[in-house]
Structure 1
């Protein structure tokens, strides 16, 4: 049918129906739906710990079903042992240390087999969990403790020195045989706690469960308020995606940091509702990851793009048996089409699926449910998860945009945060009066409802009035056989405003030159996207979640230019 008298015909409406886009509201609705076995709980008085423990295997199987394995020691916890540990620790926190509903407990630790126990025990008391990166400095930790109002800290022994100047009451996770007895340990509290005395506070889904600190959309660290309902919704969506894609006896490998929403959502909480076995790596090392896959017959690896890039380019992989691997997930940062395609060529039996989320959405927003779709659309980040809707908003005017038009992604959904803790101004800047979360990410949808994340809006390079996405150039650079890793940053320029500069990690023994890199890019992009300057570096600085730390590279480039002028 054709357009007649200004009316839209059926043929013109069909693409919008496939994308979930409504032209009258400018809203994209999720086209995915949960089945009856995976409904998000609506009971108001339900907390995370109660839900997780209720999903543990039946008592007949809980004594033998392994929940967690420490890859460094081979220590194992069954679901029955984990339940007992959670209840015992919760009882000790409540009765011995006086932790109550609404108190904030600060957790400073790398990944460990105790991490899920600590998280669930804290949440069982009705207290609020706030986690942090062990790499943070003492001053950064002091700021978070103060900002969150934490009344108790739980620390790995090696990080204890960062908390001493603060004066906050502290217990350690473990204690070696040669340590003094100045500090109570979590393990002692588990042994001394009585599971039957675990507290049973009245906790609502609307109550705050966690304060996870994120740069958000303004670059300043802020406490993201996630409610029990937010995380319960996230765990329900995770269980749905895993149940429809995985086998009953899958083994997951957990090296993503549990202080980050990605690791917390998967390994400390979410996977425990599914009854799988998770192998936990206290510290990520690439060779140790490969050894763990081989030793424990790992089937699933939730990962980040740098790890997938390593699987593509590392030359030592042939020494390991990775035949057990079935699925690899990618999140926390964009995965380029080039890296995805090369991964599938190297591991044709492994499913690779990309998703998208933020700390502000409890780690969830979009995902590929079907592997065949992920293969056909390697540049996309999946489709909106059930219960989500989105807008793509023109950055300057705020006008909602249809498919294939780039704009800022706005989200609504059951996992979207309550706001930023103690920061009404930041909350108002990130969420409008109707509850839409402004993600700060530039994106577009296609006609079938799949989303493509272009880059962070604040990281776009403005060159002669054109916008250049660093992620696009990085993906191109990574396709070069002599480039192991790459990052693109803006460099100030009097004539053009900004020019793209690339930091490159060369392959071993490579003699790749700056001019060769510039020529490689220039033949494949529009003139305004050309890389104008190249610097070689040993490693690209990245966050624990795999995001490039561009601020560090911008500072490095300024220092390099200052030195060159001397």
Structure 2
């Protein structure tokens, strides 16, 4: 069932700047675009566009030309939007950098991407400056948004009074952003996403996701991650919704901002869903404004989704994607509350999707009733990347000759065209020849009222054979033994899927995008 069941949408052949800001009406100019969740400071669409144009003009005056690469190391603050779009408006490419990176990691990305500038904030300056030095970027090209001696500031750029440059390029080939992803294997690589990739993915999500003009969208997921960049920043601004920013996740602050600013949409990753479903502090806040909780970045279990929906009295949906697809490829449409919440719904408009047998490469058979056998998910559409920067072999290993992006994720498909993500192909545990999906066991563990969080990885037993091992975080005040955990899972799975070993830990290590860092757990 390659073609999406959702009707195709028009994808304009324009730049990201034109797509987001080109259609602003006089009414829009005075409407609030961004609210700083901490301070409550507001930025209108008119002010934001003026900032974007001023930054573009200042950069052009300082020598930035079409195709230059500029690093952006910045938390979720309103200025991120101004700088990101200002760089694109100048014709340059943004490489977004993880705020948790070490100086060495920042430097590696700057060098690999060929960045000539970097924007950051003073709390992150030490790492940014060291990385810039290693990458050969001089101090005058290290912009510190809130100001630091020896470096230009955001104020310097905004007050330079330079007009935005006249830039012309083909949006289908001009690289807009270079986020870094490990893909299905290996070390992080620069993912070349064009203006058309980003514009297309926003257009594909407009009707399917369902955010409306004027609704308030909480932006806690990092903008440096493609999920936050496309689904929050660009998508919300294009729809003239209001972004409420949070620079980092803190549960109490998350709840306070949601309550005080009356946020309607919470875009989250599954770890936040666990907190919303189970943490007692949630009861202390008025979350009645929340209309939709939308999860992505990792699989969301249906029972957990239902628990969040029941507790908050809202709709819970999820989508699927990857950096290499800008990122969204599948979504549960807001208009389909009947669809199983543990699924990722339909392929987005203009998106083809297949599930193939990893061994044979043939499409799996979709039964008339129930789900197909698991296979690797493949997608094809206008949101699929141009390739990995400077890595043609790895690009060819990920996007085949027919343009299909091999996601490295296992999925099932049913006759209605609904997809379900089973697990990462590379994270499957091979127990005595049987394949065991960690996400399935994690979902069961989270059903236990005494378990706050959990992760499952493959570990070697005394014979060197791989077995499923669970790492478990208990709820405060709960006492639970390993045997009890093992028995709880054993009563709910096939014999080969049983958890064999349990280790209790204080916290499950996760990336800023909410993905479990299984490599860290395997190294314990």
Q: Is the 8 A contact 1:521 1:530 kept in 2?
A: yes
Paired with 1:310 and 1:262, the residues of 2 have a C-alpha distance of 20
Corresponding residue for residue 66 of structure 1: 32
Q: How has the CA–CA distance of structure 1 residues 524 and 61 changed in structure 2, closer, same or farther, with 3 Å as cutoff? A: closer
Of the structure 1 ranges 458-467 and 397-406, higher mean CA displacement relative to structure 2 is found in: 397-406
Paired with 2:203 and 2:161, the residues of 1 have a C-alpha distance of 30
DSSP 3-state at the match of 1:209: strand
Paired with 2:28 and 2:320, the residues of 1 have a C-alpha distance of 34
Equivalences for residues 439-450 of structure 1 within 5 A: 439-450=407-418
DSSP 3-state at the match of 2:309: helix
Q: CA deviation at 1:61?
A: 4.1
Unmatched 5+ stretches in structure 2:
367-371
Is 1:545 the counterpart of 2:494? The answer is no
Q: Which of 69, 88, 107 is matched with 2:54 structurally?
A: 88
Equivalences for residues 315-334 of structure 1 within 5 A: 315-334=280-299
Q: CA deviation at 1:241?
A: 3.0
DSSP 3-state at the match of 1:163: helix
Is 1:211 the counterpart of 2:178? The answer is yes
Q: TM-score, normalised by structure 1?
A: 0.88
Q: Is the 8 A contact 2:125 2:144 kept in 1?
A: no
Q: CA RMSD in A?
A: 1.4
Is 1:32 the counterpart of 2:3? The answer is no
Corresponding residue for residue 153 of structure 1: 118
Paired with 2:489 and 2:188, the residues of 1 have a C-alpha distance of 35
Equivalences for residues 259-338 of structure 1 within 5 A: 259-338=224-303
Q: CA deviation at 1:371?
A: 4.7
Q: How has the CA–CA distance of structure 1 residues 480 and 418 changed in structure 2, closer, same or farther, with 3 Å as cutoff? A: same
Is 1:248 the counterpart of 2:217? The answer is no
Is 1:144 the counterpart of 2:118? The answer is no
Corresponding residue for residue 201 of structure 2: 234
DSSP 3-state at the match of 1:316: helix
Q: CA deviation at 1:420?
A: 0.5
Q: CA deviation at 1:526?
A: 1.1
Q: Which of 396, 400, 403 is matched with 2:359 structurally?
A: 396
* Per-residue CA distance 1:78-133 (angstroms, 9 max, x = gap): 111011100011000101x2111010001111111100111111101111110111
* Per-residue CA distance 1:58-89 (angstroms, 9 max, x = gap): 124412x1000111121110111011100011
Q: Which of 399, 420, 442 is matched with 1:474 structurally?
A: 442
Q: Is the 8 A contact 1:251 1:278 kept in 2?
A: yes
Corresponding residue for residue 413 of structure 1: 381
Of the structure 1 ranges 161-170 and 421-430, higher mean CA displacement relative to structure 2 is found in: 161-170
Corresponding residue for residue 118 of structure 1: 83
Corresponding residue for residue 366 of structure 1: 330
Paired with 1:469 and 1:524, the residues of 2 have a C-alpha distance of 14
DSSP 3-state at the match of 1:164: helix
Paired with 2:277 and 2:336, the residues of 1 have a C-alpha distance of 20
DSSP 3-state at the match of 1:29: coil
Q: Which of 109, 118, 135 is matched with 2:100 structurally?
A: 135
Q: How has the CA–CA distance of structure 1 residues 345 and 175 changed in structure 2, closer, same or farther, with 3 Å as cutoff? A: closer
DSSP 3-state at the match of 1:448: coil
Q: CA deviation at 1:247?
A: 4.2
DSSP 3-state at the match of 1:202: coil
Q: Is the 8 A contact 1:335 1:354 kept in 2?
A: yes
Q: Which of 531, 537, 555 is matched with 2:499 structurally?
A: 531
DSSP 3-state at the match of 1:503: strand
Corresponding residue for residue 66 of structure 2: 101
Is 1:351 the counterpart of 2:346? The answer is no
Paired with 1:370 and 1:253, the residues of 2 have a C-alpha distance of 18
Paired with 1:212 and 1:188, the residues of 2 have a C-alpha distance of 27
Paired with 1:321 and 1:219, the residues of 2 have a C-alpha distance of 44
Paired with 2:290 and 2:185, the residues of 1 have a C-alpha distance of 39
Is 1:380 the counterpart of 2:314? The answer is no
DSSP 3-state at the match of 1:540: coil
Paired with 2:27 and 2:146, the residues of 1 have a C-alpha distance of 33
Corresponding residue for residue 505 of structure 1: 473
Q: CA deviation at 1:514?
A: 0.7
Paired with 1:356 and 1:396, the residues of 2 have a C-alpha distance of 24
Paired with 1:193 and 1:419, the residues of 2 have a C-alpha distance of 37
Q: CA deviation at 1:400?
A: 1.5
